[in-house]
Structure 1
């Protein structure tokens, strides 16, 4: 947090039109400004617009740093917001260029293309996306951001910089109505959607590079307990040769659902248990909710009481709401002291061998009350850099502030290791602190198909590390549904299967031999792709581009690709077409079908994979977890373009820790060129101080006639003959 946060919220609170304002004030509040009082360029293709009454850009929770003027706004700047106030609400309207297709808007259901939609920005505990009032247009996160792509492929982005409850409507105009005071609006206008996404990253920051193990396949259930049952699941993966890296611990590991505790019956020795998991090649992620049981004698509660860390009700008393442990109190994460207290709680918790943390129920969720959350007039006291304000102001960032404190606590507890945090609730910019999943979906074909546009639009809203619960959290999955879902789920950026208590088992082997085989093939494909995926994650940590991308990223000018929501891209080189996709719109040019593991082309469930002409895809061998060496040998799968050329990149580092920041990494660019029936593969360039391993390279050139293979040493170039026999 920065010191100017207090000035932002002071300005915001002074701008609120309360119920007892004078008639003259109400009349003034209805005044309409045709444009902002102040506008300026804030970077290359980035403009900021300040509404009437705000002289300087206020602080922001969404932005990584405060934008500053770098020059006046050009007279021909194409997109400008209009601001107005009425009856205590703020209204912003932006005219959309004719023929534009709209995307982003964060975590909501519906089609990939977000034109003519209504989104509520109010984080909501919404099981099955079925809340009668919220439906799928109000879920667990809020992203006041819209990406637009014009007919010619150029693009723009709109960032409405406010945390207050709001409604966002998209159509011929994009309209935001907010319960809060006037807000800045930032417009990014560049020559491609990729360039706009880089602009968003310049504003909101990028995802920290996760530990490599977090990219592996992950298995969860509400809940695996006792510890012997969790170890049995881990052993089943190893016995059945199904790769996996992470086992998740839901709330039943706790002592009576008290956060930061372990059940003496179910997990009497968590440190030993985590060591046993590590011995099996597994990492563990454990759930921590925000609600602290109101119980004197419970250490976490007592320490919170002593430091007076709780959210207050409208009368200034500690607010209590019911969640899993019964009546609980909620930390007020707007207070620096509360965030420090919360972060300190992780020191002893992580010392038990915990690898990652899962913050759930942090909208915040409250049982048995209207809206499933605390009252909007609850009070957050702020302090230090943050001003006091109502829950109406801070609700949407409650989860974000929580995971910020969680991440800081894990970093302090394990300073030599990269944190992994997953969160259910978040806000625009919260990717700086945590990965996410799409909440409590259910085992239906509808939710399987929704998962693709939901994950893509999260990526187009600045969150590259996301995915749904594979197989569906609630309800019963049929073998056919689960088989198709795992075949797709192997390619989500965050690949985790999860299941609700009292539903049938949803491990890969729970649906019979055919689905188990399909799951093994799908997950083995993911593990072969890990060198490519890790390179994409590293790129995203630098430029902010999503890992999972819409098809139109292959050609933003191709209108046929704008609505495609069955197939998608991983990076720019790999195209994924689910088996169930019907007549998907695919990009023009050279895209060659590839095989990664034996049987993937004949299996009834596997997605079709296509490699872009001109790409070199780095592949590892099949391993059971990321702790095993996978690049001995390293495979380079090549698809030549029309000129007979291809390039590809491979990023390598220790997989954890921060040595890469001091140059302990190796980024290699490989180049292939075809001449006279031979394809020559060389290292075109390299970055980083990490020593190049001595290893064998397998080069495979995929063509319309077949796959041609050669082997050699990485230190020397390798030539592949494009002559029979075809392997």
Structure 2
């Protein structure tokens, strides 16, 4: 329902206000409880723990003892649900309590419980005030000081620009079909983690509270506020000291993305809905006939019988197993949608299993909660209970037995068709013995469902990696699912908004995410779809999805001109798949994002602090989309160093803006000089068996002497055998001198049989043909090199040197002699 002017009536409830409240009061007593330091206040209490040398935890509590049990966001919890901690050091005077461990120090004022946090003498922030508001427990506000130069990042899936200073956001997972506008404070994901950048250094704060919370950076110029409405104020401070370390420290505790199957990195096609088997098969055949690469077709809710999960409509989709087998032969994976609502129907086995075994959410008095969603009246599994997650996981066998290896979880905020848009907050969740109301842990529902789905698929897939896509989540969601950013619109503004949204998701520990390419609702155009596809193929998750009754937006929907451009860019994603997959592996190891804001790599450059209409893939590919209609030029900022225009191979000086020409068939794309990018021959799907299975290391030379390298990762892209050592790391090392370039390639680790005969190196940036290439065999023509086992070729047209060598343990040690 749209708002009218009545929404701003001066007496309207819900207008933003700054609350006053009661402080902790004087710290009357200091006590050690295990590894924790307890500060007893006059009105409530404060407890402090050191998790490690860079991470400290503080918690507000009532009563005699704090509850240190964490939410499901945290990994490596002990049997009692708490995190292991270190023994703090502390000293007490009449006025202060000094707490230290490792690099961190807290200096606590005994008069009111406020404190400073320092790292090796560097002040991170001061807790200017800590207030309790309402009579009931859980309504707190912490006010943390903010310097004038501070820049704020993270907070997950939020609208607005990259830097969140001056914004206010509510953490409450919400089904938001419309509108997605900058003033929308809550969307489908709630990740209450924020990184603060100051003069190239950074720290992070994380509020582990899956109920309704608020991050307010708007009210004060010199402070931001963190508010809880229920549950605990359970805070973690990550000392950094830089943005990358903050992300690593945060994901050390909340987990990292498991390496996904390579097919899930391919292009996905979806619609609400592909209505029957014939439509799906025609779609699949069209992709193959038109030679537009695609790995995944999604099925929206119409594939089910009356929207009942774990069913296929027999009329629309007869013989689903046969359809899956036929699609598998064509190289396609099917990913069906699965919602949490289980239709209330005494003849429906899934519903009766839930009733018989007490799997569904209930009120405190035992009454079953029933909410209306697509199948009308429905019950909802209590995914906070391990036994319920196990049941839901077993139900995934319905899909895996048909040959399905990926599931799309939607409506899992949970979305309910009522005034509040979600489940009654008074519902009681079992939570494995630690009972909570829904209001206290609302934001966990989608993540717990994704966990049940992922773990169930993993058990059923006999060693293959599953793929799960989710709309809702909380901190830690990256352990179980990729994220798409919900029901966006086919607006140029929404294309633009997708960049900072996905960049901040990456800065919040969620590296595998992306928007619906082309926009979900409203009517796209050929130009918008093409520009969005150009951008979208460089996002970690690349899916075209559109709504019922909207114009079709498959890549061929607007004629040959736009189809050809989209084919080229989708194909580019597949040719660059080795590079993309390498950075997915990096994300799985470090937690760092695949798609990166420039500030992550250039944190001392003020031009990058709020730059969010261009981005990096990995650390060396710069993407600058066109996101306005009828536009052929745009300003592109090139950071320090040198950059190659990927289309012209012109080497450009960085540290400046350039004016880039970008007609409809071209999106500005640059590669950093002094980098190596891997690519391979084009496949129509990730696992397609092709004749040329070689990989090519594209070496982008600097304009001066120096050295650089890439340790490229590869494995089978499908199983968990890499955990047993079945993977390769191929090192490419480049040493540039005044008169020569030495290139060495070798296996640093070789545990996976790649089944290729050779590898190649393309050297980009030479001004003229080399005199010779020592150690690389003979100079040959391009045609002769294609037939030879090794050798080299100089392409005068694009000034590129191509070196070919056999795939062996020691691949290449070549010296390119320039003079």
Do Structure 1 and Structure 2 share a fold, with TM-score over 0.5? yes
Distance 1:100 1:33, change over 3 A: farther
Distance 1:180 1:29 in 2: 16
Compute the displacement of 1:605 (Å): 3.9
2:801 counterpart of 1:709: yes
In structure 1, the partner of 2:410 is 360
2:736 counterpart of 1:651: no
2:187 counterpart of 1:139: yes
In structure 2, the partner of 1:335 is 385
Compute the displacement of 1:319 (Å): 1.1
Higher relative contact order (Cα pairs below 8 Å, separated by 6+ residues): 1
Distance 1:319 1:524, change over 3 A: same
2:312 to 252, 262, 266: 262
Distance 1:239 1:467, change over 3 A: same
In structure 2, the partner of 1:23 is none
Q: Deviations over 1:658-686 (max 9, x none)?
A: 10000000011211223464433212551
In structure 1, the partner of 2:430 is 381
In structure 1, the partner of 2:56 is 47
2:698 to 623, 632, 637: 637
Distance 1:596 1:522 in 2: 16
Decide whether the 8 Å contact of 2:407 with 2:469 is kept in 1. yes
Distance 1:40 1:501, change over 3 A: same
Q: Secondary structure at the match of 2:178?
A: helix
1:456 to 485, 490, 503: 503
Compute the displacement of 1:540 (Å): 0.7
Q: Deviations over 1:495-551 (max 9, x none)?
A: 000010111111000011111011011111111111011110111111100001001
In structure 2, the partner of 1:17 is none
Using structure 1 for the length normalisation, give the TM-score.
0.90
Residues 161-560 of structure 1: pairs in structure 2 closer than 5 A: 161-170=208-217, 172-313=222-363, 315-367=365-417, 369-382=418-431, 385-560=432-607
In structure 1, the partner of 2:761 is 699
In structure 2, the partner of 1:622 is 682
- Structure showing greater Rg: 2
Distance 1:219 1:720, change over 3 A: farther
> Which piece of structure 1 moves more, 709-718 or 415-424?
709-718
> Which piece of structure 1 moves more, 372-381 or 601-610?
601-610
Distance 1:485 1:33 in 2: 57
> Which piece of structure 1 moves more, 32-41 or 109-118?
32-41
Distance 2:672 2:241 in 1: 22
Decide whether the 8 Å contact of 1:700 with 1:707 is kept in 2. no
Distance 2:504 2:21 in 1: 38
Distance 1:304 1:692, change over 3 A: closer
Q: Secondary structure at the match of 2:396?
A: helix
Distance 1:291 1:123 in 2: 16
Distance 1:502 1:198, change over 3 A: same
Distance 2:754 2:308 in 1: 48
| Higher helix residue share | 1
Decide whether the 8 Å contact of 2:705 with 2:737 is kept in 1. no
> Which piece of structure 1 moves more, 582-591 or 348-357?
582-591
> Which piece of structure 1 moves more, 30-39 or 628-637?
30-39
Using structure 2 for the length normalisation, give the TM-score.
0.81
Distance 1:605 1:189, change over 3 A: farther
Q: Deviations over 1:145-196 (max 9, x none)?
A: 1111112x11111001111111111253221211113322111112321111
> Which piece of structure 1 moves more, 693-702 or 202-211?
693-702
> Which piece of structure 1 moves more, 300-309 or 36-45?
36-45
Distance 1:83 1:231, change over 3 A: same
2:68 to 46, 57, 60: 57
Compute the displacement of 1:316 (Å): 3.0
2:24 counterpart of 1:31: yes
> Which piece of structure 1 moves more, 372-381 or 309-318?
309-318
Distance 1:396 1:56, change over 3 A: closer
Compute the displacement of 1:261 (Å): 0.3
In structure 1, the partner of 2:170 is 120
In structure 1, the partner of 2:4 is none
Distance 1:289 1:340 in 2: 17
Distance 1:629 1:603, change over 3 A: farther
Decide whether the 8 Å contact of 1:699 with 1:720 is kept in 2. no
Decide whether the 8 Å contact of 1:194 with 1:553 is kept in 2. yes
Distance 1:318 1:470, change over 3 A: same
2:637 counterpart of 1:585: yes
RMSD value, Cα: 2.4
Q: Deviations over 1:569-604 (max 9, x none)?
A: 01111111113473233311111122499xx99862
Distance 1:428 1:604 in 2: 39
In structure 2, the partner of 1:5 is none
Distance 1:280 1:83, change over 3 A: same
2:86 to 32, 49, 70: 70
Decide whether the 8 Å contact of 1:129 with 1:440 is kept in 2. no
